[in-house]
C-alpha cells in the first residue's frame, strides 16, 4: 500500500477449529513440506524490516508444526510485485505472496479462493468491506493483510498562532489555507498529485466531493459531473489562489509532503497513520480530523489494503491453510499493526485495538474504516488505470489545465482497458 511502512489471530487449527487444515504434518513426520512466501517490506530501515517480523512468526509456527517449513523472502515495495510476476511467468510461483494486487493472478485461475485455504472462523473474521474488495466475480481471492485510512492532519501550532480551528467543509479549508498563506506558511495545504501516489490523494478528494472512480456497480466513471466539479474547485480555489505551496501539485510526491509536514512547513494535508510517528519524532504537534466535504464532513474516506494470495502451483493447499490461520491469529495481526502503525484487517484484532488505551492514537483511523472505500482492486484493469491517473491527474489542476479534459481522457482510456478484462 503505498504505503509505506505502515496485523494478525491465534492458531485456529491449534484451537481445533479446522481439523482438516490443522493437520499439516502427519504424526510420523512423513508430510514434510516447504512453503515459500514472498512479502513486501513495510520497514524503513534494517532495524524494523518486515523480515524480522516474519522470522519471528515463522519460528513460532514451525515449532507447533514440525512437518512444515516456511521460507520468507522480503523485498522493497519498489520490487516485490515485479519479483512475484517474474516468478509466476517463469513457472516458479511461490506458495504465498503478500503484495499490492491480486486480480491479474485470480483472473488467470492461478490462485486458491479464500474458502479453499482458510478455516471458516478466520475467513469470517475479515472486516466486511475488505472481504468485498478481495472478491472477483463474488469469489474472494485476495485476503487483506494490512489496511489504513486517511485523516486530515493539521499543525496545531500554526493553527493556534493564527487563531484557526480545524475545517469541516471545503470553504473552511480554503479560508484556513488563505490565513496560513498570509502568515507565511510554506504549504498552507499540501496537495501531492505527483507520480508517487497521486491516485490516493485524488480518490480522497473525489470521495469528499461525493463520488469516486467507479459507480455503484463497479463501472469506471472518472469524468462524472461531481468529479469534474471536485477537480475544478481544487484548481480554482486552492491551486489557483496559491494555497498549495511553491511546488506544483503534479510535481509534489506524498513522501515529500509528509517530510515537509514533519519539518513544520505544512498547515494541512491528508495523511495515514505512519505520519504520526514521523511528525512526533520531529517535535511537531498535530491534530487529526475527518476529511471535510463540500458542505460538511465527507460521507466516506479512502481506505487502502494490501493483499495476501495463495498460488495453486505447488499444490500445498492444506499446509498453506494451516499457516494462514496462524498468520491471521489475533496476536499476530496486532503485532504487525503495532510495528508498522497499520490497521488490523480482522474484526477480532480491531476490537482488541479499540479497547486498548495504548492504541488510542490509531482509533480515529480505525473509526473511519467501516465507511471507507477502497480502490477497485478487483478489476484487472486497475493497475493500468491507476498508473494513468498517477501520470496525468496533476495536469488537471495546473494553471492551463482542464479538469473535464483530463478526466475525460482518463475515462476513455479506462473504458478501453476495462473492456479487455
Three-state SS string over the chain comes to CCCCCCCCCCCCCCCCCCHHHHCCCCCCCCCCEEEEEEEECCCCCHHHCHHHHHHHHHHHHHHHCCCEEEEEEEECHHHHHHHHHHHHHCCCCCCEEEECCCHHHHHCCCECCHHHHCCHHHHHCECHHHHHHCEECCEECCEEEEEEECEEEEEHHHHHHHCCCCCCEHHHHHHHHHHHHHCCCCEEECCCCCCCCHHHHHHHHHHHCCCCCECCCCCECCCCHHHHHHHHHHHHHHHCCCCCCCCCHHHCCHHHHHHHHHCCCEEEEEECCHHHHHHHHCCCCEEEECCEECCCECCCCEEEEEEEEEECCCCCHHHHHHHHHHHCCHHHHHHHHHHHCCECCEHHHHHHHHHCHHHCCCHHHHHHHHHCECCCCCCCCHHHHHHHHHHHHHHHHCCCCCHHHHHHHHHHHHHHHHHCC
pLDDT at 375: 94
CB atoms within 10 A of CB 92: 11
How does residue 1 score in pLDDT terms, banded at 50, 70 and 90?
Answer: low
pLDDT tens per residue across span 378-418: 999 998 999 999 999 999 999 999 999 999 999 999 999 99
**Structural contact between residues 293 and 169, judged by C-beta atoms closer than 8 angstroms:** yes
pLDDT tens per residue across span 334-350: 999 999 999 999 999 99
pLDDT at 421: 65
Q: With 50 as the cut, is the pLDDT of residue 17 above it? A: no
Burial tier of 321 (Cβ tally within 10 Å: 0-12, 13-18, 19+)? buried
Dihedral pair phi/psi, residue 92, rounded to 5°: -125, 45
pLDDT at 187: 98
Residues 6+ apart with CB under 8 A from 354: 363, 366
pLDDT tens per residue across span 85-140: 999 999 999 999 999 999 999 999 999 999 999 999 999 999 999 999 999 999 99
Query: Among the listed ranges 15-29, 47-61, 78-92, 396-410, which one has the minimum average pLDDT value?
Result: 15-29
pLDDT at 419: 86
**Structural contact between residues 322 and 24, judged by C-beta atoms closer than 8 angstroms:** yes
Q: With 60 as the cut, is the pLDDT of residue 43 above it? A: yes
How does residue 78 score in pLDDT terms, banded at 50, 70 and 90?
Answer: confident
How does residue 45 score in pLDDT terms, banded at 50, 70 and 90?
Answer: confident
pLDDT at 24: 38
pLDDT at 3: 40
How does residue 8 score in pLDDT terms, banded at 50, 70 and 90?
Answer: very low
Residues 6+ apart with CB under 8 A from 273: 6, 148, 341, 342, 343, 361, 362, 365
pLDDT at 298: 86
Which cell is 326 given?
496462524
pLDDT at 10: 30
Q: What is the mean pLDDT of residues 191-212?
A: 95
Helix axes 347-355, 330-340, angle to 10 degrees: 60
Q: With 80 as the cut, is the pLDDT of residue 27 above it? A: no
Q: What is the mean pLDDT of residues 62-91?
A: 95
- β-bridge pairing 33-40 and 151-155: unpaired
pLDDT tens per residue across span 292-304: 999 988 888 899 9
Average pLDDT score, the chain: 91
Phi-psi region of 136 (alpha: psi -120 to 50; beta: other; left: phi over 0): beta
Dihedral pair phi/psi, residue 112, rounded to 5°: -70, 145
How does residue 260 score in pLDDT terms, banded at 50, 70 and 90?
Answer: very high
Q: What is the mean pLDDT of residues 79-89?
A: 95
> What is the residue whose three cell numbers read 493483499?
307
CB atoms within 10 A of CB 387: 12
**Structural contact between residues 141 and 110, judged by C-beta atoms closer than 8 angstroms:** no
Smallest CA-to-CA distance from 204 within 242, 248, 148, 123 is with: 148
Query: Among the listed ranges 241-255, 305-319, 367-381, which one has the minimum average pLDDT value?
Result: 367-381
Which cell is 29 given?
513426520
pLDDT at 29: 39
pLDDT at 382: 93
pLDDT at 237: 98
CATH numbers and ranges of domains, the chain: 19-149+304-371 (3.40.190.10), 151-301+382-419 (3.40.190.10)
Amino acid at each position: 500500500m503505498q504505503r509505506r511502512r505502515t496485523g494478525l489471530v491465534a492458531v485456529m487449527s491449534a484451537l481445533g477449529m479446522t481439523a482438516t487444515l490443522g493437520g499439516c504434518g502427519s504424526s510420523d513426520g512423513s508430510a514434510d513440506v516447504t512453503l515459500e512466501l514472498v512479502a513486501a517490506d513495510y520497514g524503513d530501515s534494517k532495524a524494523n524490516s518486515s523480515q524480522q517480523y516474519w522470522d519471528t512468526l515463522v519460528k513460532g509456527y514451525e515449532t507447533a508444526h514440525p512437518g512444515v517449513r516456511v521460507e520468507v523472502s522480503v523485498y522493497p515495495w519498489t520490487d516485490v510485485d515485479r519479483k512475484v510476476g517474474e516468478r509466476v511467468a517463469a513457472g516458479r510461483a511461490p506458495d504465498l505472496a503478500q503484495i499490492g494486487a491480486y486480480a491479474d493472478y485470480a483472473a488467470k485461475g492461478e490462485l486458491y479462493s479464500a474458502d479453499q485455504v482458510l478455516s471458516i472462523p478466520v475467513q469470517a473474521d475479515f472486516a466486511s468491506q475488505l472481504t468485498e474488495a478481495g472478491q472477483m466475480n463474488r469469489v474472494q481471492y485476495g485476503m487483506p493483510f494490512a489496511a489504513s485510512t486517511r485523516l486530515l492532519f493539521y499543525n496545531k501550532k500554526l493553527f493556534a498562532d493564527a487563531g484557526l480551528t480545524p475545517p469541516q467543509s471545503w470553504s473552511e479549508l480554503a479560508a484556513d489555507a488563505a490565513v496560513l498563506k498570509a502568515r507565511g506558511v510554506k504549504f498552507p495545504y499540501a496537495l501531492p498529485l505527483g507520480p508517487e501516489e497521486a491516485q490516493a490523494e485524488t480518490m480522497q478528494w473525489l470521495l469528499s466531493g461525493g463520488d469516486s472512480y467507479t459507480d455503484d456497480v463497479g463501472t469506471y466513471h472518472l469524468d462524472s459531473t461531481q468529479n469534474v466539479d471536485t477537480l475544478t474547485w481544487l484548481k480554482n480555489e486552492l491551486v489557483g489562489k496559491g494555497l498549495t505551496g511553491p511546488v506544483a501539485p503534479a510535481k509534489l510526491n506524498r513522501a515529500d509532503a509528509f517530510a515537509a509536514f514533519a519539518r513544520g512547513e505544512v498547515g494541512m494535508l491528508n495523511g495515514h497513520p505512519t505520519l504520526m510517528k514521523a511528525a512526533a519524532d520531529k517535535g511537531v504537534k498535530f491534530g487529526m480530523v475527518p476529511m471535510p466535504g463540500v458542505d460538511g464532513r465527507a460521507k466516506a474516506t479512502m481506505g487502502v489494503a494490501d493483499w495476501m494470495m495463495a498460488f495453486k502451483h505447488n499444490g500445498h493447499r492444506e499446509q498453506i491453510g494451516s499457516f494462514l490461520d496462524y498468520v491471521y491469529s489475533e496476536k499476530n495481526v496486532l503485532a504487525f499493526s503495532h510495528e508498522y502503525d497499520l490497521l488490523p484487517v480482522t474484526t477480532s484484532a480491531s476490537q482488541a485495538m479499540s479497547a486498548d488505551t495504548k492504541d488510542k492514537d490509531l482509533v480515529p483511523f480505525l473509526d473511519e474504516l467501516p465507511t471507507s472505500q477502497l480502490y477497485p482492486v478487483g478489476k484487472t484493469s486497475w493497475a493500468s488505470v491507476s498508473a494513468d491517473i498517477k501520470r496525468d491527474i496533476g495536469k488537471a489542476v495546473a494553471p492551463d489545465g482542464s479538469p473535464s479534459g483530463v478526466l475525460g481522457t482518463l475515462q476513455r482510456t479506462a473504458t478501453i482497458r476495462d473492456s479487455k478484462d
